[in-house]
Amino acid sequence: MRYPVTYRPAIPDDVDFCVETIIRAEKGRSDILPYARIFGLTEEEIAALLKEILLEDIEGQELALSSFTILMHNDEYAGACGSFIECINGVSSNRLKSDIFRHYIPAAKLEAALPVLQMLKPLNMVREPHTVQLESLYIIEKFRCMELYLDMVRTIAEGRIAQYPELNIKRSYAGFSEQNWFMGKAAARIGYRFHSELSIDNPEALKYISSLKRYVVMKQH
């Protein structure tokens, strides 16, 4: 690779970079931050909430500090990626995130967001228990290349599987918006295959998200 990197688990000092990773991954190739649009909060307010949530570190969903792996080039951040094992403690990631939002999002904001969340529900992945779920993939622009992206996906998925040999994990999944589907297609080079398409047939949703379609890829390990 042009810039060799090392991988390590995130630590509390990395929390701001993990927040940046989530926000940049959520925006993708647009200026729309879904969390801010859905809950009627500013990007700064969302960043502050994400920092609190990450530091609480609730295992089994993507908004946990321990879900993040950091890519380093020498002493410089090169990127980060979230990953977790679905239902590792017997509770789905969707349920965990729902509970987290109820705790952290102001009640009035959450109540106002319920119709929007219902509208966006078709984009929620149905996640298979005891599989690796990859989320919030981000590489800093100066390091960005397909070779590093594929190495990151492979290394992090295989690392999570090795972390839990007792679960005999056989599959890993990643989801991509329509704008970033080229990344999903590129993952075929390391064994990922198209799994499913999620979509919304309501242009009103584009007030809150940047794409009406999401594609999911899966790899047998």
At 55-94, the pLDDT tens digits run 999 999 999 999 999 999 999 999 999 999 999 999 999 9
| Residue 181 pLDDT greater than 90, yes or no | no
pLDDT tens figures, 105-160: 999 999 999 999 999 999 999 999 999 999 999 999 999 999 999 999 999 999 99
CA angle (144 as vertex; 189, 178 as ends), nearest 5: 60
Q: Say whether pTM exceeds 0.85.
A: yes
- Whether the pLDDT of residue 193 is over 70: the answer is yes
How confident is the prediction for the chain on average, in pLDDT? 96
Does the pLDDT value for residue 14 go beyond 80?
yes
Strand, helix or coil at 111?
Answer: helix
Question: Tokens representing 210?
Answer: 């940047």
User: Crossing angle for the helix pair 43-56 and 93-104, nearest 10 degrees?
Assistant: 120
The pLDDT tens digits for 43-63 are 999 999 999 999 999 999 999
Tell me, which fold does domain 6-220 have in CATH? Aminopeptidase (3.40.630)
**Cα distance between residue 198 and residue 52, in whole Å:** 30
Best CA proximity match to 161, nearest among 191, 186, 183 = 191
Q: What is the pLDDT of residue 2?
A: 74
Q: What is the pLDDT of residue 1?
A: 67
Given a contact cutoff of 8 angstroms between Cβ atoms, the answer to whether 198 and 213 are in contact is yes
